[in-house]
Amino acid sequence: MSLIQFIKEKQFSVLLNLIALLIILMIFYLYGANVSLIILVTIIQFFFFLCSMIIEFYRMKKYYDELMDVFEQLDEKTFIADIVKEPSFYSGQVFYQVLKGATKVMNDRIASLKNAEREYHDYIELWVHEIKTPITALKLILTNSRTKENLPIQAEVSKIEEYVEQALFYARSSTLNQDYKIETFTLESIVNQAVKSLSLSLIRANGKIETNHLDLNVTSDSKWIVFILKQIIDNSIKYRSETLKISFSARKIENGTVLKISDNGIGIIESDIERIFNRGFTGTNGRDYAKSTGMGLYLCKTLCEKLGLLIKAESQDESGTTIKIFFPDRLNILN
């Protein structure tokens, strides 16, 4: 609180005191009071009024400055009423009681929402684990009776499995700090895992994989990185041209390593490139070429941010897409 703000707040009080002082002085003057007495009364009245205003200003300023300092330092702003002291002046006490009441209601609602979110998260994880059982059984049946007619069914079952996995990773993305394992591994190992997982889809798409300089080590969570790569590969399959080619290459740069994934697909139009990592954004090609949910690249971006990685897309319409992932030498994991 500044002095100007305080004066503006007390302007009516100051005005009324000035009017009262003028009335008293006029009465003294009309009754023929001595000029020295009038001046003395004016000085005494002004002195005590000024002292009261100064004391009130510093008392309020001290309290509100401390309140703002505490508020700015708090990570959980909703705890402010439990930490700040009750003020000694009445107007502040009223504000403090209102703040405590409102904070309690808000914290109760936040706790209720967090509980509901936790229950929903637990249900999604349980559902995913339960649904995996019939999917695995169905894949086993199709494998044991492998025929030409069953290949399309196998591919669709694989898609179902991918979407189920996407739902699981989306549910876990909000609690990444409880579900990650940081280790050092080669880019070649995780690329191979991702490609192998999508081998059936790549075969159906007549896809060709090229790798170059993937023997570099990076540090992150391999499970989450494989998931990110699978989303990128899946996009390349969805938006492929007649002959699909996906290339993986890596190079060491200052402070980290860059993994580049390029395809020769239909590309991304210029007006969409800045929005492809937005949640639910499908873009022009997503609506025209494939049934897209707009969640794959959003999850890639979210997980990369939480893992302390950077992800960037480069593309031109009809000329393929390149995704670059930067693995820093020093990780900064977000909770």
CATH code of the domain in which 186 resides:
3.30.565.10
Residues 69 and 191 in one domain: no
pLDDT attached to residue 291:
61
pLDDT attached to residue 169:
79
Phi then psi for residue 76, to 5 deg, are -100, 95
Residues 62 and 202 in one domain: no
Domain assignment of residue 34, yes or no: yes
- Domain of 284 in residue numbering reads as 180-328
Residues 85 and 196 in one domain: no
Domain assignment of residue 122, yes or no: no
Residues 199 and 318 in one domain: yes
Q: Dihedral sign, CA of 206, 207, 210, 215?
A: negative
Which tokens in the block code for residue 251?
């190079």
Residues 287 and 189 in one domain: yes
Domain assignment of residue 315, yes or no: yes
Which tokens in the block code for residue 29?
């003057």
Residues 102 and 196 in one domain: no
Check residue 188 and give left, alpha or beta (phi > 0: left; psi -120 to 50: alpha): alpha
Residues 309 and 196 in one domain: yes
CA gap 82, 217 in Å, rounded = 48
Quote the number of domains for the chain.
Answer: 2
Tens digit of pLDDT at every position of the chain (335 positions): 666 776 777 777 778 878 887 888 788 777 777 778 778 877 888 888 888 888 878 777 777 777 778 777 777 767 777 777 777 777 677 777 887 888 888 888 888 888 888 788 778 877 887 887 888 888 788 877 777 777 788 878 888 888 888 888 777 776 665 567 889 999 999 999 999 988 888 888 889 999 999 999 999 999 999 999 999 998 898 888 878 999 999 999 988 999 999 999 888 888 888 888 888 777 666 555 556 677 888 889 988 988 899 999 998 777 789 999 999 988 766 55
Domain assignment of residue 290, yes or no: yes
CA gap 239, 233 in Å, rounded = 10
CA gap 146, 294 in Å, rounded = 33
Domain assignment of residue 135, yes or no: no
The answer to whether 312 and 277 have CB atoms below 8 angstroms apart is no
Which tokens in the block code for residue 328?
């820093």
13: number of Cβ within 10 Å = 14
Among residues 245, 178, 259, 172, the alpha carbon closest in space to that of 215 is found at: 259
pLDDT attached to residue 56:
78
Cα angle value 306/309/315 (rounded, 5°): 115
pLDDT attached to residue 287:
59
For the chain, list the strands marked E by DSSP. 183-186, 208-212, 217-220, 245-253, 256-263, 310-315, 321-328
Residues 98 and 203 in one domain: no
Residues 80 and 190 in one domain: no
The answer to whether 263 and 236 have CB atoms below 8 angstroms apart is yes
pLDDT attached to residue 154:
81
239: number of Cβ within 10 Å = 23
Domain assignment of residue 129, yes or no: no
pLDDT attached to residue 290:
54
Q: Using CB atoms within 10 Å of the CB of residue 31, give its burial: 0 to 12 exposed, 13 to 18 middle, 19+ buried.
A: exposed
Q: How do 208-212 and 245-253 pair as beta strands?
A: parallel
Residues 92 and 192 in one domain: no
Residues 196 and 321 in one domain: yes
Domain assignment of residue 301, yes or no: yes
DSSP 291: -
The answer to whether 178 and 335 have CB atoms below 8 angstroms apart is no
pTM (two decimals): 0.64
Q: Choose one of 106, 125, 154: the last residue of a domain.
A: 106
Domain assignment of residue 133, yes or no: no
Q: Choose one of 72, 106, 140: the last residue of a domain.
A: 106
Q: Choose one of 71, 106, 141: the last residue of a domain.
A: 106
Residues 194 and 305 in one domain: yes
Phi then psi for residue 78, to 5 deg, are -75, -5
